[in-house]
């Protein structure tokens, strides 16, 4: 998928198309594009927040997991608890 295609998906997602937002999430996760995932989180996409939580947990990034958890992401809350338990 080229940048023009991603731009079209972004426009659809920005207009509230959840399928487009979910597709963008998949594409961003495949590329490891954390900036795009955060943009989608800022628009309220829970799938993007879940993927960011997974990436943060893989890196052991407690700060990012805390940020996502504070925003109400349940996956981040669970992963954060798990990582903290494993540290002790």
Q: What is the DSSP letter of 61?
A: -
Q: From CA 18, how far away is CA 31, in angstroms rounded?
A: 20
Instruction: Report the predicted TM-score, pTM, of the whole model to 2 decimal places.
Output: 0.87
Show pLDDT as tens, one digit a residue, over the chain (88 residues): 788 888 999 999 989 999 999 999 999 999 999 999 999 999 889 999 999 999 999 999 999 999 999 999 999 999 999 998 988 6
pLDDT at position 88: 67
- The three-class DSSP label of residue 88 is coil
């Amino acid at each position: 998928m080229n940048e023009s295609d991603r731009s079209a998906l972004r426009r659809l997602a920005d207009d509230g198309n959840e399928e487009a937002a979910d597709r963008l999430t998949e594409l961003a996760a495949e590329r490891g594009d954390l900036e795009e995932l955060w943009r989608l989180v800022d628009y309220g996409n829970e799938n993007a927040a879940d993927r960011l939580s997974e990436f943060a947990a893989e890196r052991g990034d407690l700060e990012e997991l805390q940020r996502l958890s504070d925003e109400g992401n349940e996956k981040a809350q669970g992963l954060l608890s798990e990582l903290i338990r494993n540290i002790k």
